[in-house]
């Protein structure tokens, strides 16, 4: 903040970006405190998942990630669904 104020006082875009970053950090810290220091909320309990799968609310499958484009490309192959099972 001091750097921007002293050297770039008229660069509105830089000040807006800085404010945005500060706000995002505050929100992330707040979420982390709500989750007791964990970055992500915990998974559902196994019994809830099993009941959801049986009722059809949730689907179960294997996650397949493209090793060359892992951040961009992945899919879930559902159990019991596929060309081998339809005959």
**For 61-80, what is each residue's pLDDT tens digit?**
999 999 999 989 999 999 76
The CA–CA distances, whole Å, from 58 to 2, 31, 37, 55, 85 equal 50, 26, 28, 8, 20
pLDDT score recorded for residue 84: 53
pTM: 0.40
The DSSP 8-state label assigned to residue 45 in this structure reads P
Give the residue with greater pLDDT, 43 vs 14.
14
**For 19-66, what is each residue's pLDDT tens digit?**
999 998 888 777 777 766 666 667 888 899 999 989 988 889 999 999
């Amino acid at each position: 903040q001091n750097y921007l104020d002293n050297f770039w006082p008229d660069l509105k875009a830089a000040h807006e970006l800085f404010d945005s970053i500060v706000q995002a950090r505050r929100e992330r810290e707040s979420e982390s405190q709500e989750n007791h220091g964990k970055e992500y909320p915990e998974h559902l309990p196994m019994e809830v998942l099993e009941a959801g799968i049986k009722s059809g609310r949730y689907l179960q499958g294997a996650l397949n990630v493209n090793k060359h484009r892992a951040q961009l490309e992945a899919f879930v192959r559902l159990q019991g669904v596929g060309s081998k099972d339809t005959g």
